[in-house]
């Protein structure tokens, strides 16, 4: 089982490293049209047998690309402010009307581990598993009035309005709207200095949680509070920011459960980092192992003692009926003249 997980993790590590690397933050991702349309077709064709019905879409990729670029092309981001409605037509086009029942998992500060986790546990779906998340993940884009196709392939002014922000805000809101019954969120128990596991103004706190509360489809939110491997957690269920999360969730009438280091996530981390202290046999396991060895040794010793006693008892019985003559043979005591 662990060897299978390690193989998957190795592949995922390579994939995530390539997938997450994006040096084009100050310009549109090169070949973005090819990437967009390729992912669009891949999502519908290559992944069609892997996708759950709740994630499936049916869309013309040329139409999707045109609708996507219409939102920002030929628009100077320093003079035009995009918002969620700028991308609404695209999201209406790809909306499938399905609910993610006991399936939606949100995340904050746990990007790599949550996607490794959902890859192995297909019961769960992240935003990046949905069509809008899949096609735009790690891409950058901006408009340009005088550029080819109205897209800033050479330069995007980062100090101006970012056209990515409203896209991902709408994607997060749409994802939260589809969550139903039990939803999950994985947060980091070792946030970076100055950060907290739960932050009201993160995407989850600002957009996704309020949207779930407004929709009233999620009855129960389960929080997986995951610590970095071999590090002491700095956040705990019921304390600090996690207590604040529990309070905020309760205001929406949603049941709240917090689980520290769930075993299924720890097993995944241990498959990736088998030498970590946290992944070694626990003290209790070693204790029972020592007890088992001691029991076996004592049992063998007792068995030997019993055999010795039986042999001695047997020889005493023989000597009772006769001693040995000068030739070392037993003689009978029933005939004193023998």
Secondary-structure class of domain 2-280 per CATH = alpha beta
Here the tokens at position 308 are 């010795």
Residue 49: the pLDDT is 54
Here the tokens at position 74 are 């030929």
Residue 139 contacts residue 24 (beta carbons within 8 Å): no
Listed in sequence order, the DSSP H helices in 273-282 are none
Residue 158: the pLDDT is 84
Distance CA(123)–CA(104), nearest Å, equals: 9
Residue 316: the pLDDT is 63
Here the tokens at position 119 are 């890859």
Which of 59, 77, 66 lies closest to 156 in space, CA to CA? 77
Query: Mean pLDDT, consecutive 10-residue segments, the chain of 338 residues?
Result: 42 36 70 97 79 90 98 93 96 94 96 93 94 96 94 91 94 98 97 94 97 98 94 95 98 97 91 86 53 77 84 65 48 46
Distance CA(207)–CA(111), nearest Å, equals: 18
For residue 313, what are the contacts with CB-CB under 8 A and spacing of at least 6? none
Distance CA(219)–CA(253), nearest Å, equals: 8
End-to-end Cα spacing for the chain? 76
Residue 320: the pLDDT is 54
Residue 282: the pLDDT is 65
Residue 283: the pLDDT is 42
For residue 130, what are the contacts with CB-CB under 8 A and spacing of at least 6? 55, 171, 174, 175, 178
For residue 16, what are the contacts with CB-CB under 8 A and spacing of at least 6? 112, 115, 116
Here the tokens at position 265 are 């996530």
Residue 25: the pLDDT is 65
Residue 318: the pLDDT is 52
Distance CA(140)–CA(156), nearest Å, equals: 9
Largest CA-CA distance found in the chain, in angstroms, rounded: 134
CA 151 from centre of chain: 36
Residue 23: the pLDDT is 43
pTM: 0.76
Distance CA(233)–CA(187), nearest Å, equals: 12
């Amino acid at each position: 089982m662990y060897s299978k997980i390690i193989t998957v993790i190795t592949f995922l590590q390579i994939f995530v490293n390539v997938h997450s690397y994006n040096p084009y933050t100050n310009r549109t991702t090169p070949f973005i049209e090819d990437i967009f349309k390729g992912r669009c077709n891949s999502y519908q064709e290559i992944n069609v047998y892997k996708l759950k019905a709740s994630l499936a879409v049916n869309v013309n990729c040329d139409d999707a690309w045109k609708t996507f670029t219409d939102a920002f092309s030929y628009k100077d981001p320093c003079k035009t402010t995009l918002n969620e409605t700028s991308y609404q037509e695209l999201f209406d086009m790809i909306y499938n009307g399905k609910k993610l029942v006991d399936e939606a998992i949100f995340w904050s500060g746990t990007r790599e581990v949550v996607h490794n986790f959902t890859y192995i546990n297909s019961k769960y779906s992240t935003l990046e598993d949905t069509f809008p998340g899949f096609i735009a993940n790690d891409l950058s884009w901006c408009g340009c009035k005088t550029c080819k196709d109205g897209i800033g392939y050479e330069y995007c002014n980062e100090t101006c309005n970012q056209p990515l922000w409203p896209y991902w805000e709408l994607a997060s809101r749409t994802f939260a709207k589809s969550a139903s019954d039990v939803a999950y969120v994985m947060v980091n128990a070792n946030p970076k200095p100055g950060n907290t596991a739960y932050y009201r103004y993160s995407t989850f706190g600002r957009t996704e949680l309020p949207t779930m509360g407004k929709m009233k489809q999620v009855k129960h939110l389960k929080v997986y509070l995951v610590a970095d491997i071999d590090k002491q957690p700095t956040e705990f269920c019921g304390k600090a920011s996690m207590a604040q999360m529990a309070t905020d969730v309760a205001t929406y009438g949603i049941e709240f459960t917090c689980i520290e280091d769930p075993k299924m996530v720890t097993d995944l981390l241990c498959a990736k980092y088998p030498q970590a202290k946290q992944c070694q046999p626990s003290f209790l396991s070693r204790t029972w192992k020592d007890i088992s060895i001691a029991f076996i040794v004592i049992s063998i010793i007792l068995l030997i003692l019993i055999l010795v006693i039986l042999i001695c008892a047997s020889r005493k019985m023989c000597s009772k009926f006769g001693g040995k003559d000068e030739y070392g043979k037993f003689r009978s005591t029933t005939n004193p003249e023998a």
